[in-house]
A and B are shown apart, each in its own frame.
Chain A
Amino acid sequence: MVFAENERAEAELAGWLARARQGDRHAFARLVRAHQSRVRLQLRRLARGDVALADDLAQETFVQAWLHLNEFRGDARLATWLHRIALTRFLQHARRPRLPIEWCEPDAEAGPSHDPRAAEGLARDVERALQSLSEIQRLAVVHCFHLDLSHAEAAQVLGLPLGTLKSHLDRAKQRLRGLLDAWNPESAT
């Protein structure tokens, strides 16, 4: 049932994409509406919570997508293509001399102060645990788990070989397992 719904949604997206390629702005608006949340989430992660910067870059991402829509060959999902543009826009921005973002080193001391009773505690602890990872490990986790991309898609977005991405992901998970051990029901028992 869920599978059929997903297929119908994908078919709708493909229809909007085809119309947007022919210059239909309304169809493009539907595509923006469908993907804006994930792209903005990705950029908020990249920008370390700088919402204004993330939204500006997300807007630029969609403008670029509109201008180059005919270059999208369709051999990847549209979401993957958009995430790739978003990452490129962010990296272009980060190379500017007056950078509002500081790429701070991972804080080795940082660890989650877990509060398993609070519903939002998990998200906060995961967030803090993610901050203790290296930049590339954090990006690997965010793209694979929070943006729900496959390993191959995440590797494509980040411009890494698949094996490299997997090894970053493994190292990140090893570290996270230690930091989030208190959330593991098996370790609690």
Chain B
Amino acid sequence: MTESERHHDALDALLRASVPEPVADDGFVARTLAAVDQAARSLPAPRRPTPVAPVVLARALATERQRQARRARLWRWAIAGAIAGYFLMLAAMAVAPAGVAIDVPTPSHWAPLALMMALGAIWVAWRELRAN
């Protein structure tokens, strides 16, 4: 052990020996716990989600029902239109003075139209599916 180390050891012991006496409680713990209680009481209560007013709920429900009814009405009219068109076509064929001759064109003529109609139908179906 060097001279310096010996000096340091002696000094360490001296410093440790000079530790002040422990501080007596003197009611500190009781005062601190009272302060803890006070601090806990003054904390803001955890916020609850704001309840939705019944009138707001009723309004939202009514709007949704109206939207569904509008959509259903639109579909009913679309189907009724298609059926009416079909019967109109039959009626026109029945009253035609010279009879009716159905001339089916070659696929090269009607394929683009059929393709457009198919794409349109798929688009409408997809939109409906997403809307629901």
Query: Which residues of A are interface residues toward B (Cβ below 8 A)?
Result: 25, 28-29, 32-33, 36-37, 40-41, 44, 55, 58-60, 62-63, 66-67, 122-123, 126-127, 141, 145-146, 148, 173, 176-177, 180, 183-186
Q: Is the interface of A mostly helix, strand, loop or mixed?
A: helix
- Whether A180 contacts B33 in the complex (CB less than 8 A), given A41-B23, A66-B39, A186-B6, comes out as no
In contact, A67 and B15 (Cβ under 8 angstroms):
no
In contact, A122 and B23 (Cβ under 8 angstroms):
no
In contact, A33 and B14 (Cβ under 8 angstroms):
no
For residue A33, which residues in chain B have a CB less than 8 angstroms away from its CB? 25, 29
For residue B10, which residues in chain A have a CB less than 8 angstroms away from its CB? 184-186
Segment 1-41 of B: residues with Cβ below 8 Å from A: 6-8, 10-12, 14-20, 22-25, 28-29, 31-33, 35-37, 39-40
Extra pairs beyond A36-B28, A55-B28, A177-B8 (16, CB < 8 Å): A28-B36, A29-B33, A36-B29, A41-B22, A63-B32, A66-B36, A67-B43, A127-B18, A145-B15, A145-B18, A146-B18, A146-B20, A173-B11, A177-B11, A180-B11, A184-B11
User: A148 vs B14: C-alpha distance in the bound complex, in angstroms?
Assistant: 14
For residue A28, which residues in chain B have a CB less than 8 angstroms away from its CB? 33, 36
- Whether A29 contacts B28 in the complex (CB less than 8 A), given A122-B18, A173-B11, comes out as no
For residue A176, which residues in chain B have a CB less than 8 angstroms away from its CB? 11, 15
The one of A59, A141, A183 in contact with B31, judged by C-beta atoms closer than 8 angstroms, is A59
For residue A184, which residues in chain B have a CB less than 8 angstroms away from its CB? 7, 10-11, 14
In contact, B19 and A145 (Cβ under 8 angstroms):
yes
For residue B24, which residues in chain A have a CB less than 8 angstroms away from its CB? 37
